[in-house]
């Protein structure tokens, strides 16, 4: 018999109202609040102590590695294999170390003796080793304190730079016991930040001697190097003689009351653990609610009946929710009716769900097939509207590329070798085109035809197309390195770009269609690619592309040539590089970007005169 969901809900509601009329006993929670506060105090101290021990071990490990690496660096015998291997093990191969510097102290003068920086760690931020000269001035590292024998830590994290912490240690003493050399190591902040990211109701953080954050549960505060001197517990930790204490205070930032504990490590940094009094009271209130809930026998009975009814209602819905999650991930082979047997509206929903997944499965199959032949953007465009023969005029950027000497290469090798080479080459280049917003229109033997601006256009189509060509230039270099390593000959390619109007759409008949772009712009792009052979360059762009990219790329005039299909000579340009975010021009040149010019069919270079 079919039971509607509304009937179930009404039945459950009536049972709750009837049973909830029983006697409810109020239980005092003041005793629990007091005990909760005491337990939180103890838990804060234990948590801070555990974190302090963990931080001690991490800093101790960094200090030992810094001392060993700095000593090896001081020896100046890095040409010795054993010493170099030791240094590589202790510094170079340790992913946490970013820079190591040895300073010489002579009275008030401080001189850098040697500095070693992992340039790879700075490249993502467009920085070099000179960054550390400015860093020392910014962070005002307490070098004099280190010179007095202390080990100092200072947050070295700044915007658009690696997240680091600087550790300073005494390194060398003279015969009188005076420290003459100290070592500064810049290490990744992550090992010190990690212990404070545990999910907990407590807020835990690490400060230096001046109250500046080194690590925090909210890593954004640590990255911003917040100064916590105005926080009462931090201010007390900076001056308190005891290595540990507990206190209740009001946070000036949130104006809320907290229970806190502080532990001072042997390295002078303080571990703070604090818990909001509001959280403690919330737990107390929750206990009070539970006590009232348990006190009513009628409520207890209602829970029992609600549980029985909710199982019949929520279980099928939860199963459907799980199935929806699977479908959202692309799994259309689920059968909802086999798992949901309810004879109500949920059962009807399961049947409708199965019909929907069948339709989605067919649609996904068609879309996947289209994507493999035309690219995802073309497939989405075709699926989103009625398919028919026709097209529309669009501003596009057309790309052609060709492998130099492919005919001779094919004649000397088996078909399997040729196909293997083409698949490897196409796999690299197509990925770059797709990543930069282009659509591969077709493969013509060893040639690739791609287009930007169809079916979807963007103001950056020309920029994206030129950027893709430069990436293909670099990718070809890597591909050739792999081919040479396999004793295979390297390959050269020619690429041409032209911008203009073309007809974009489906051509053919009602029985056989092809999505493509056609027009004089396509033909001209093909002629430009053919001209690369005559100009001895791997990439040429037309003047229409040049006008669209402006000064964002490093371009030079290659010359003009008469090509088949055009009455006027076509002016073409070589692309040598691009403009970086900081405004500087970056050259993109490889051993395969220029080669000896030779005669090309259908192309006649026009004399400069």
For CA atoms 450, 448, 363, 337, give the dihedral sign: negative
Q: Residue 82 — very low, low, confident or very high, per pLDDT cuts 50/70/90?
A: very low
H or E element at residue 85: helix 81-87
Q: Is position 5 within any domain? A: no
Same domain for 214 and 266, yes or no, is yes
Q: Is position 95 within any domain? A: yes
Comparing 310 with 543, the larger pLDDT belongs to 543
Average pLDDT over residues 541-566: 89
Lowest mean pLDDT among 145-159, 206-220, 285-299, 344-358: 285-299
**Domain span at 177:** 25-295
Q: Is position 20 within any domain? A: no
Q: Over 50: is that where the pLDDT of 388 sits?
A: no
What pLDDT, on a 0 to 100 scale, did the predictor assign at position 608? 47
For CA atoms 463, 464, 468, 474, give the dihedral sign: positive
Lowest mean pLDDT among 15-24, 521-530, 535-544, 561-570: 15-24
To the nearest 10°, report the CA torsion of 124, 126, 130, 135.
-70
What pLDDT, on a 0 to 100 scale, did the predictor assign at position 303? 59
Domain edge (last residue) among 248, 278, 295? 295
User: Where are any strands of DSSP class E within 383-438?
Assistant: 390-403
What pLDDT, on a 0 to 100 scale, did the predictor assign at position 36? 75
Domain edge (last residue) among 347, 372, 397? 372
Domain edge (last residue) among 372, 402, 431? 372
Q: Over 60: is that where the pLDDT of 27 sits?
A: no
Same domain for 388 and 362, yes or no, is no
Same domain for 256 and 339, yes or no, is no
Tell me the C-alpha distance between 108 and 538, whole Å.
Answer: 59
Comparing 16 with 597, the larger pLDDT belongs to 597
Is the distance from CB of 233 to CB of 205 less than 8 angstroms?
Answer: no
Same domain for 365 and 506, yes or no, is no
What CATH code is carried by the domain that includes residue 422? 3.30.70.1230
Average pLDDT over residues 497-522: 83
To the nearest 10°, report the CA torsion of 321, 325, 327, 328.
130
Output the 3-class SS for 179-248. Answer: EEEEEEEEEECHHHHHHHCCCCCCEEEEECCCCEEEEECCHHHHHCCCECCCCHHHHHHHHCCCCEEEEE
Digit-coded pLDDT (tens) for 235-280: 999 988 889 999 999 988 888 899 999 999 999 999 999 998 888 7
Q: Do the strands 179-188 and 570-579 form a parallel or antiparallel pair, or are they unpaired?
A: unpaired
What pLDDT, on a 0 to 100 scale, did the predictor assign at position 137? 85
Same domain for 367 and 381, yes or no, is no
- Beta bridge partners of residue 557, listed in sequence order: 573
Same domain for 360 and 400, yes or no, is no
What pLDDT, on a 0 to 100 scale, did the predictor assign at position 107? 83
Comparing 206 with 285, the larger pLDDT belongs to 206
Q: Residue 478 — very low, low, confident or very high, per pLDDT cuts 50/70/90?
A: very high
Q: Is position 281 within any domain? A: yes
Lowest mean pLDDT among 30-39, 245-254, 290-299, 567-576: 290-299
Lowest mean pLDDT among 331-335, 559-563, 595-599: 331-335
Structure tokens at 489: 């000959």
Same domain for 418 and 473, yes or no, is yes
Structure tokens at 225: 């190097």
Entry pTM? 0.45
Tell me the C-alpha distance between 180 and 103, whole Å.
Answer: 8
- Beta bridge partners of residue 594, listed in sequence order: 537
Q: Residue 20 — very low, low, confident or very high, per pLDDT cuts 50/70/90?
A: low
Helix, strand, coil tally for the chain in percent (to 5):
45, 25, 30
Same domain for 117 and 259, yes or no, is yes
Structure tokens at 575: 């692309």
**Exposed, middle or buried by CB within 10 Å (0-12, 13-18, 19+), for 157?**
buried
Average pLDDT over residues 423-443: 93
Lowest mean pLDDT among 1-5, 150-154, 446-450: 1-5
Q: Over 70: is that where the pLDDT of 604 sits?
A: yes
Average pLDDT over residues 213-221: 92
Q: Is position 207 within any domain? A: yes
Average pLDDT over residues 536-549: 94
Average pLDDT over residues 298-322: 66
Same domain for 349 and 239, yes or no, is no
Comparing 322 with 274, the larger pLDDT belongs to 274
Same domain for 258 and 379, yes or no, is no
Phi, psi angles (nearest 5°) of residue 505: 160, -160
**Exposed, middle or buried by CB within 10 Å (0-12, 13-18, 19+), for 592?**
middle
Average pLDDT over residues 408-426: 91
Digit-coded pLDDT (tens) for 389-401: 557 888 999 999 9
Q: Report the domain count for the chain.
A: 3
Q: Residue 326 — very low, low, confident or very high, per pLDDT cuts 50/70/90?
A: confident
Q: Over 60: is that where the pLDDT of 6 sits?
A: no
For 338, other C-beta atoms within 10 Å of its C-beta total 9
Same domain for 244 and 365, yes or no, is no
Same domain for 444 and 531, yes or no, is yes
How many CA atoms within 13 Å lie on the side-chain side of 213? 23
What pLDDT, on a 0 to 100 scale, did the predictor assign at position 72? 84
Digit-coded pLDDT (tens) for 123-142: 999 999 889 888 888 888 99
Q: Is position 133 within any domain? A: yes
Average pLDDT over residues 547-558: 92
Q: Is position 300 within any domain? A: no
Q: Over 60: is that where the pLDDT of 533 sits?
A: yes
Q: Residue 575 — very low, low, confident or very high, per pLDDT cuts 50/70/90?
A: very high
Q: Residue 386 — very low, low, confident or very high, per pLDDT cuts 50/70/90?
A: very low
């Amino acid at each position: 018999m079919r039971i509607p969901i509304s009937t179930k809900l009404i039945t459950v509601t009536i049972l709750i109202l009837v049973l909830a009329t029983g006697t409810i006993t109020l239980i005092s929670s003041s005793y629990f609040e007091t005990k909760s506060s005491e337990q939180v105090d103890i838990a804060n101290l234990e948590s801070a102590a555990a974190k302090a021990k963990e931080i001690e071990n991490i800093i101790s490990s960094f200090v030992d590695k810094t001392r060993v690496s700095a000593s090896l660096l001081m020896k100046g015998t890095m040409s010795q294999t054993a010493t170099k291997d030791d240094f590589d093990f202790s510094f170079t191969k340790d992913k946490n170390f970013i820079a190591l510097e040895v300073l010489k102290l002579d009275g008030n003068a401080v001189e850098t003796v040697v500095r070693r920086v992992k340039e790879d760690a700075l490249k993502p931020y467009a920085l070099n080793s000179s960054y550390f000269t400015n860093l020392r001035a910014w962070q005002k590292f307490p070098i004099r304190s280190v010179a007095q024998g202390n080990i100092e830590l200072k947050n070295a994290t700044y915007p658009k730079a690696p997240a680091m912490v600087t550790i300073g240690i005494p390194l060398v003493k003279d015969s009188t016991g005076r420290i003459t050399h100290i070592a500064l190591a810049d290490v990744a902040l992550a090992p010190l930040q990690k212990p404070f990211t545990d999910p907990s109701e407590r807020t835990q953080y690490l400060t230096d001697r001046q109250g500046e954050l080194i690590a925090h549960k909210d890593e954004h505060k640590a990255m911003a190097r917040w100064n916590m001197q105005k926080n009462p517990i931090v201010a007390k930790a900076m001056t308190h003689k005891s290595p540990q204490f507990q206190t209740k205070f009001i946070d000036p930032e949130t104006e809320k009351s907290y229970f806190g504990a502080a532990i001072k490590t042997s390295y002078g940094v303080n571990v703070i653990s604090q818990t909001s009094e509001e959280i403690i009271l919330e737990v107390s209130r929750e206990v009070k609610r539970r006590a009232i809930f348990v006190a009513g026998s009628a409520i207890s009975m209602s829970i029992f009946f609600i549980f029985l009814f909710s199982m019949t209602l929520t279980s099928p819905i939860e199963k459907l929710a799980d199935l929806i999650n699977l479908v959202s991930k692309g799994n259309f082979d689920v059968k909802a009716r086999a798992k949901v047997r309810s004879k109500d509206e949920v059962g009807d929903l399961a049947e409708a769900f199965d019909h929907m997944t069948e339709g989605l499965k067919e649609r996904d199959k068609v879309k996947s097939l289209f994507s493999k032949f035309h690219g995802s953007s073309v497939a989405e465009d075709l699926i989103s509207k009625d398919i028919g023969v026709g097209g529309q005029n669009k501003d596009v950027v057309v790309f052609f590329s060709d492998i130099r000497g492919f005919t001779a290469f094919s004649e000397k090798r088996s078909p399997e070798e040729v196909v293997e080479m083409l698949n490897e080459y196409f796999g690299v280049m197509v990925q770059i085109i797709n990543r930069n917003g282009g659509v591969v229109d077709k493969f013509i033997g060893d040639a690739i035809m791609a287009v930007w601006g169809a079916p979807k256009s963007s103001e950056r189509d020309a920029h994206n197309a030129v950027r893709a060509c430069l990436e293909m230039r670099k990718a070809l270099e890597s591909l050739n390195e792999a081919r040479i390593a396999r004793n295979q000959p390297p390959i050269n390619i020619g690429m041409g770009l032209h911008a203009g109007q073309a007809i974009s759409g489906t051509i053919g008949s009602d029985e056989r269609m092809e999505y493509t772009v056609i027009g004089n712009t396509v033909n001209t792009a093909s002629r430009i690619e053919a001209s690369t052979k005559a100009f001895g360059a791997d990439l040429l762009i037309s003047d229409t592309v040049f006008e669209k990219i402006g000064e964002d790329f490093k371009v030079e005039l290659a010359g003009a040539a008469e090509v088949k299909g055009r009455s006027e000579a076509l002016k073409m340009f070589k692309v040598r590089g691009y403009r970086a975010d900081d405004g500087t021009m970056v050259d993109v040149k490889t051993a395969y970007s220029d080669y000896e010019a030779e005669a090309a069919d259908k192309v006649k270079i026009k004399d400069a005169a």
